[in-house]
Amino acid sequence: MLTAGIILVTLLSIVIGGIALAAMAFWVWMLIDCAQNKRITENERIMWLLIIFFVHIVGALIYFFVGRAKQRAPLPYSASVVGAVDPALYAQGYRMHQMPPQRGPERPPVEDEVQRQAYEQPQASYPEQRSE
């Protein structure tokens, strides 16, 4: 009888520990999600972060069902963004920007190079080639 009680307590502690770990992972996930949510204002973000942090799992659940609803809503368009890009550019498809071939830095010729360019190659003559 004592052994069955120990097994029951061990199984119960494993189940409760697993639920506690899952709740903590969910809480951390909601904290990160709230911090990265671009669809809420800065003041709303601070408010939600404080609620999630201090109310722990209950705050995370409230944010999951109420605060994340804004995350599914489309981003509002601003007048400066609409029409800024010509749709015809997208019809052409993506074209990689072609870089011109790179050459070494242009530098004036060194004095020695100028002399080599003007130098005529010597002509060797052999005794067999002489006309006498």
Report whether 77 contacts 70 (CB < 8 A).
no
Q: Give how far the C-alpha of residue 2 lies from the chain's centroid of Cα atoms, to the nearest Å.
A: 57
Token couple for 56: 């722990």
**Tokens 């069902």 belong to which residue?**
65
What pTM value is reported for the model? 0.51
Query: Any idea what the Cα angle at residue 75 is, between residues 44 and 29, rounded to 5°?
Result: 50
pLDDT tens per residue across all 132 residues of the chain: 668 889 999 999 999 999 999 999 999 999 999 999 888 889 999 999 999 999 999 999 999 999 887 666 555 555 455 555 666 666 666 666 666 666 766 666 566 655 566 666 677 777 776 555
